[in-house]
Chains A and B, each alone.
Chain A
Amino acid sequence: MGEKQEILQQLAQAVVEMDEEAAVTVAEQAFRVGIDPYEAITDGLTVGMGIVNEKFENEEYFVPEILLCADAMYAGLEVLRPHLKIEAASHHARVVIGVVEGDTHDIGKNLVKMMLETAALEVYDLGRNVPLHDFVDKALEIDAQMICLSTLMTTTMDGMKKVVDILEEKGVRDRFVVMVGGGPISQTFADSIGADGYAANAAAAVRKANELIENMVTA
């Protein structure tokens, strides 16, 4: 195996093993030996996060592990990001995410946000208990491609429909894909409120987001 391959693999491994220090050291090494930072991210750190995703879906990793893997990934990212060429960084899709009004549970949303960032999407986090109009205003302001709505409570699910309705009223529904998720949400519910996609967990959310955005670009 070449030196480059070995370093990329070590980057992935640092993420999978939740090793923040190794992620920093190997990222510095990658830069020193002249590996393109973009490649180090996509073929190293992101590959690691992909493995973490699989482990999450296989019930090998749970929320504490995911958080620490993401910490390692961010640590590596912080080393590499300043060296990125502008073009490589600028064409990322923009996503607005938040927990709908009335709900303050944001663990799920934070996981999805992290996973989307690790998949190199630009994520604007509105936080929790977010007034419904704010989703639309922010998405218009930053010219986002995607709006992600989360809730853990059955009591606040209807707020998701209202966001879709606001987009319709303003005549901007076609400009965004809307993805919903959270404990009580299902594909059936997503269909019933006219959302574009549903994801059962953070790993599925990344796949779905990429798929939705790709379809949007090619449509």
Chain B
Amino acid sequence: MEPKERLTRTFAGKTIDRPPVLCPGGMMAVSARGIMARAGFSGRDAHCDPEKMAAIAERIAGISGFENVGVPFCMTVEAESFGARVDLGDIEREPAVTRYPCASLADFARLSPAEPEKHGRLPVLLEALRLLKKSNPHLPIMGNLVGPISLATSLVEPTTFFRAMRREAGTVHEILAFITDFLVRLGRAQFAAGADLITVADPTSTGEILGPMFFKEFAKPYLERLCRGLEQGGRPVIVHICGNARLIAPAISDINPLAAFSFDSLVNVARLKEQMGSLVLMGNVSTAVLEKGSPELVRKIARICLARGVEILAPACGISPATPLANIRALTGAVAGT
């Protein structure tokens, strides 16, 4: 079975020969330095040059055994397109926002919506997707988006935004609607450029920060609005949220349409399975085990995840640069190897 067909059948709940193994881009890009060095990653041009971005994404898939290509390699393209200052980092450090464009919630009113074909590195991302579409017919191409709350808290100091959830709920809703509508446009542009599916990573909306009540009020409606907005074309959208998903699982299982939910290693899969019903689960091989464990242990953990109900095997979160290549291959080899 070809990786694309296998993945499509997995989302549709049809029979497959074995589970797919994926690694999204964004914060979950395969940033292990052993792989990045081999793939020709040389720092900033991997983030700024579409040809390099596409070529590196393809080489990463070849070296690692992951059954998809994913771009970009950071979670900063969206914030940067709204004027956030970004430090592009190096092979050890992923790009990070170093200055927020908004000092207060009122400043959001001054932001003009970023345009996918025009602002910051968004055109780089879209061009990389077009190049991948041309050169890469057999692996699924994964586009990536930062979730609404994670993007909002990349544009203003997060604690300012969290306080406002209680004090200025109306303004918070307006901001999230504005941001979500931008993400819908960027996601559609990614689909149009060639993405076969999109992963939305929303680490800051974790239930451990917001709690179940605020997740339901401020995170869920906009994740749903985003998924709905991307629905045309029928291409799948995966949502990844870090931390313990126990408290927010009921709200997530309610999001429609959602192709799969990707989650962290501290989540009890069997229990989540009960809470999520028929939603496809993706994850959740511990990144600590990937970094420090033996290939044997990685294979064992991967099999445990699958036995407990994970349907798409994937790292639980962003991979450490120190992760040995042998461990990544053990992860992908746990399903694809023999």
Residues of A in contact with B (beta carbons under 8 Å apart) = 18, 59, 61-65, 67-68, 71, 102-104, 107, 110, 129, 153-158, 183-184, 186
Contact = CB atoms under 8 A, between A and B. Distances in A.
A63 B318 contact: no
Interface residues of B, number: 33
B163 A64 contact: yes
Contacts of A156: 93
B158 interface: yes
B208 A62 contact: yes
B166 A65 contact: yes
B163 A129 contact: no
B31 A183 contact: no
Nearest to A188: B288
A71 B163 CA distance: 10
Interface string B161-187: 011011100000000000000000000
B159 A154 contact: no
Contacts of B92: 102, 155
Contact of B287 (A103, A104, A154): A154
Interface of B: 31, 92-94, 96-98, 158-159, 162-163, 165-167, 204, 207-211, 214, 242-243, 247, 287-288, 291, 317-322
A183 B209 contact: no
B211 A59 contact: yes
A204 B287 CA distance: 24
Contacts of B211: 59, 61-65
A63 B162 contact: yes
A67 B162 contact: yes
Given A129-B98, A184-B288, 10 more contacts: A18-B166, A62-B209, A63-B210, A64-B214, A67-B159, A67-B163, A102-B92, A103-B96, A107-B159, A157-B320
Given A107-B159, A183-B242, A62 B94 contact: no
Given A104-B96, A107-B159, A154-B291, A64 B322 contact: no
B31 A155 contact: yes
For chain B, what secondary structure do more than half of its interface residues adopt (helix, strand, loop), or is it mixed?
helix
A154 B214 contact: no
A74 B246 CA distance: 33
Nearest to A157: B320
A191 to B, nearest CB: 14
B320 A155 contact: yes
Given A104-B98, A107-B158, A107-B159, A64 B320 contact: no
B166 A62 contact: no
Contacts of A184: 287-288
A59 B211 CA distance: 7
Given A64-B214, A107-B158, A183-B243, A155 B166 contact: no
B318 A62 contact: no
